[in-house]
Structure 1
Amino acid sequence: MAGEMNDTELLREAWAAMDSAIVELIRFHKENMPVFPGQPGHDEWERCGCEVATTVRDMKAVERKLYLELEQRGVFA
């Protein structure tokens, strides 16, 4: 069918959208999340226990899976 997107292109677009969204969420976390004594700082989303940081970590895990799949398909070659 004309205009139909194949799954590789769909995965590439999903990866690109997630990559962009993750950058924005990391910036939001760094600039807007409060720092409490004894807790990780703004830029430590890798270890922070807040909901935003947890979402970023979950999205990064999915982004890595998408990237690996696309890499196996030769999209980045």
Structure 2
Amino acid sequence: MSETDWPSWIKAAGIRVVKTGAQTLITLIGTDMVSIIQLDWPQMLAVTATTMVLSLLTSIAGLPEVDDGKSPISTR
């Protein structure tokens, strides 16, 4: 990956992280059959943060949107 591709990778990875977090939180909210005030927000946000970190780590393996899916740490 060239130096000029880093901004593209950061943008694409950031979009994936935000989408993953939003999808996780929506899923967790939808599984509780209680009012929104009774939700366990700290636990739900912790799970969401974990999935966002995992999404970012997965993106290190490569993103199809950037540089033909090459990893940003690839030397080739």
| TM tier relative to shorter chain | 0.3 to 0.5
Question: TM-score by structure 1 length?
Answer: 0.45
| Higher share in helix | 2
TM-score, normalised by the number of residues in structure 2:
0.45
